[in-house]
Amino acid sequence: DSGVTQTPKHLITATGQRVTLRCSPRSGDLSVYWYQQSLDQGLQFLIQYYNGEERAKGNILERFSAQQFPDLHSELNLSSLELGDSALYFCASAGGPGETQYFGPGTRLLVL
Amino acid sequence: GEDVEQSLFLSVREGDSSVINCTYTDSSSTYLYWYKQEPGAGLQLLTYIFSNMDMKQDQRLTVLLNKKDKHLSLRIADTQTGDSAIYFCAESHSGGYNKLIFGAGTRLAVHP
């Protein structure tokens, strides 16, 4: 158990819908990272937050957005969902930039 | 550029040593990581090595880093069936706020 929690574990939805994935970092960690794991793209970095502020963006679609709240939990919002958004979404946390990232169990999203 | 490559599959006999290889292209990488993913599970941090080290040993795991060739390997001694999983090599560098760049993963199959 890494100490990072993600909810829900599984999500099934339809094209065009919007979903919110939630992540709670390890106690004391200020950085949250979001990654997407898909069969065709592998594991890809989406976005990073540190202490409530966005720090880095990767290959994140404009339909996707995220935020980190004052209690340091983070949410990833996916809208106008397409079949190709079906993937495993991981959250990782770290004490700060440069520190080791610990991953949550992931949220498996299936878009039908 | 940023690119991490791994062979996709490795099969070993129980009790033998496994060696999983990885090459990376970013010479500014500061840390290199090995993560393990079991079926249906998240990413478990196995070990990591700082870029100014050549070797790191942690129980059955040995990491070797050849900076000149940008080659990283993970050796698992006395491989067990419980080691069957996908192993991901990842690099990070401080210039990218430590986002992780992952390889495609090596599927390790351990047979009796």
Which of B43, B86, B91 best probes binding to A when mutated, by most A CB atoms within 10 angstroms? B43
* CB proximity A25 to B under 8 Å: no
Residues of A in contact with B45 (CB under 8 A): 2, 100-103
CB-neighbour burial class of residue B102 (10 A; exposed 0-12, middle 13-18, buried 19+):
buried
Instruction: Answer positive or negative: Cα dihedral of A95, A98, A103, A107.
Output: positive
Q: Give the one of A48, A92, A103 whose C-beta lies nearest to B97's C-beta.
A: A48
Does A45 contact B97 at a Cβ distance shorter than 8 Å?
A: no
Mean pLDDT by 10 residues, chain B (112 residues): 86 97 84 92 91 91 94 97 96 73 95 92
Residues of A in contact with B102 (CB under 8 A): 42-44
Are the CB atoms for B99 and A48 separated by under 8 Å? Answer: yes
The pLDDT assigned to B59 comes to 95
Does A105 contact B30 at a Cβ distance shorter than 8 Å?
A: no
* CB proximity A58 to B under 8 Å: yes
The pLDDT assigned to B97 comes to 62
pLDDT by residue for chain A (112 residues), tens only, comes to 889 999 999 999 999 999 999 999 999 999 999 999 998 889 999 999 999 999 989 989 999 999 999 999 999 999 999 999 999 999 999 987 678 899 999 999 999 9
% helix, strand, coil for chain A, step of 5: 5, 55, 45
Does A103 contact B45 at a Cβ distance shorter than 8 Å?
A: yes
Model confidence pLDDT, tens digit, residues B10-22: 999 999 999 999 9
* CB proximity A103 to B under 8 Å: yes
